[in-house]
Amino acid sequence: MGGGACAQRAQKRTQTLMQWAILYVPKQCEADVTACKLHVNFHGCSSTEWASRRQWASELDLNEYAESNDMIIMYPQAKGNVNGAGVGCWNWVSYDDDPLFDTR
């Protein structure tokens, strides 16, 4: 593999997980979160605007499912990058060469 391919792979592997996530906690889980299950929703590409991300998470109907199934929903947010998976995307394209693909 040439130096250019290594540089491209290294660029794809830069951290793209945002510091903040959207978390939905159903009413019945608020008193004791340990009594509820956790579901992590790895979404497709999304807008870079927080308002759009919050709107998407609230309109997905996954929160309603969580209410009836004692489930906390975590929507981690990906920055993505223009040279890898895309802006606002998880690293869907590099799972074969990146053991940490689900965190980027």
Q: Quick count: other Cβ atoms within 10 Å of Cβ 82?
A: 8
Query: Is 64:57 a contact under the CB 8 Å cutoff?
Result: no
Q: pTM of the prediction? A: 0.67
Mean pLDDT of successive 10-residue segments in the chain (104 residues)? Answer: 41 63 93 93 75 86 94 86 62 63 62
| Amino acid occupying residue 56 | W
What is the structure's pLDDT at 42?
A: 79
What is the structure's pLDDT at 38?
A: 96
What is the structure's pLDDT at 90?
A: 65
What is the structure's pLDDT at 14?
A: 53
Nearest CA to 80 out of 52, 41, 47 is that of 47
Domain positions in the chain are: 3-103
